[in-house]
Amino acid sequence: MGQGNCNTGKKKWEQITERERYKIEALCQQGLAPAEIGERLGRDRRTIEREIGRGLTLQRSSELVEKMIYLADVGQRKHEEKAANKGRGLKIGHDHALAGYLEQKIGDEKWSPDAAIGAIKAQGLAFKVSICTKTVYNMIDRGDFLNLSNKDLPVKKKGKKRPYKRVRKVALNNTKGRSIEERPPEIANREEYGHWEMDCVVGKSRACLLVLTERMSREEIILKLASKTQVCVNKAIDSLERHYKNKFKEKFKSFTMDNGCEFLDMKVLETSCLNDKKQRTICYYAHPYSAWERGSNENANKLIRRFVPKGANIDRFSKKDVKRIETWMNHYPRRILGYKTPLQFVA
């Protein structure tokens, strides 16, 4: 077959192989031009020219005549050196859709990398590339994302959890409160809906946030209080009873709190403001210095701090702002719920 009748298609997006380099060396020795070599190998002329330039080496003949010739082993060695210097490719590759999804969820919607990755499978989303949570953290650390940095991440965990110890079994300021030790197993084991943990998030102003976290579903209710006092807390619980009316006892079967002064009026918290002063719920108090006994509540407070940093003036947050934070938390997928949101879990 003549050179003009060559019907080999040109290769695209494929690097020259070692075998092809030795063919190029042989064809160069025959005196063929780069365009002719390219047609023989199905390569573009410029590809052959670049390869020849890469492998050119000064050689001296037996007559001591120096000449630049192409050597395949030299071209292969330089190719391997450049490949080694390039480093590993990004696991996310050219999947711009996945990169955009992660930047939106982590950067704009304030999700954690684990929540963003977990939601992909839970919601049945499809991308070209599949990566894990650790890979996302590594990519953010290296600065692989255009619009993401470590400033967009929640607090990273460092090391193992510290061992928890109860300092004292009885709160000296709350000797009449019902201890968490009296709490039934179905509450402790999160087997039943309707058992809540309660705490306050404070700032530099008198106003604070009353945070209620349902133990089984991690559903959140956040209420703004004028001050961190028993009167304001009692009024907030009364407002919930007026809102839910007869369904209050089903939704709020119990509250577990710390021994802060704002929660010490157990009788008022448990007594209905609508139904002839009958008991509407039951209260339990955690041991002193044992925030881990209200772990769901403490984790919820960390999420709230992404919107209300420590030292913030809570007076400046309107009820709409607080409601927006509550809605975000109830639509935030949790690993412990199989990456469902609290509202999906309740439904």
CB of 303 closer than 8 Å to CB of 201: no
Q: Is 201 a residue whose pLDDT tops 90?
A: yes
Burial of 130 (0-12, 13-18, 19+ CB in 10 A): middle
How far apart are alpha carbons 183 and 199 in whole angstroms?
18
In this structure, of 15-19, 166-170, 257-261, 271-275, the range with the lowest mean pLDDT score is 166-170
How far apart are alpha carbons 307 and 110 in whole angstroms?
9
pLDDT in the model for residue 275: 86
In the numeric block, the tokens 């935030």 are attached to: 332
Q: What does the mean pLDDT of the chain come to?
A: 89
Q: Is 262 a residue whose pLDDT tops 50?
A: yes
Enumerate the domain spans of the chain: 3-86, 96-152, 180-346
Give me the helix-helix angle, 319-330 and 295-304, nearest 10°.
120
DSSP string, 219-286: -EEEEEESSSSHHHHHHHHHHHHHHHGGGHHHH-SEEEE---GGG--HHHHHB-SSSTT-B--EEEEP
In this structure, of 45-54, 66-75, 166-175, the range with the lowest mean pLDDT score is 166-175
3-state SS, residue 167: coil
Strands 208-214 and 282-285: unpaired
DSSP 194: -
DSSP 197: E
Say which amino acid occupies 301.
N
Tokens matching residue 302: 């960390």
Q: Is 253 a residue whose pLDDT tops 70?
A: yes
In this structure, of 57-61, 97-101, 220-224, the range with the lowest mean pLDDT score is 57-61
* Mean pLDDT along residues 327-343: 95
Query: Using one digit for the tens of pLDDT, what is the confidence trace for 271-330?
Result: 999 988 899 999 999 999 899 999 999 999 999 999 999 999 999 999 999 999 999 999
CB of 335 closer than 8 Å to CB of 342: no
pLDDT in the model for residue 3: 47
pLDDT in the model for residue 2: 47
Q: Is the pTM of this model over 0.75?
A: no
Task: State percent of the chain over pLDDT 70.
Answer: 90
Architecture of domain 180-346: 2-Layer Sandwich (3.30)
Strands 195-202 and 208-214: antiparallel
Burial of 198 (0-12, 13-18, 19+ CB in 10 A): buried
Query: Using one digit for the tens of pLDDT, what is the confidence trace for 4-61?
Result: 444 455 556 688 999 999 999 999 999 999 999 999 999 999 999 999 999 999 888 7
pLDDT in the model for residue 81: 86
Tokens matching residue 206: 């008198």
CB of 237 closer than 8 Å to CB of 223: no
* Mean pLDDT along residues 256-279: 93
**Between 158 and 24, whose confidence is greater?**
24
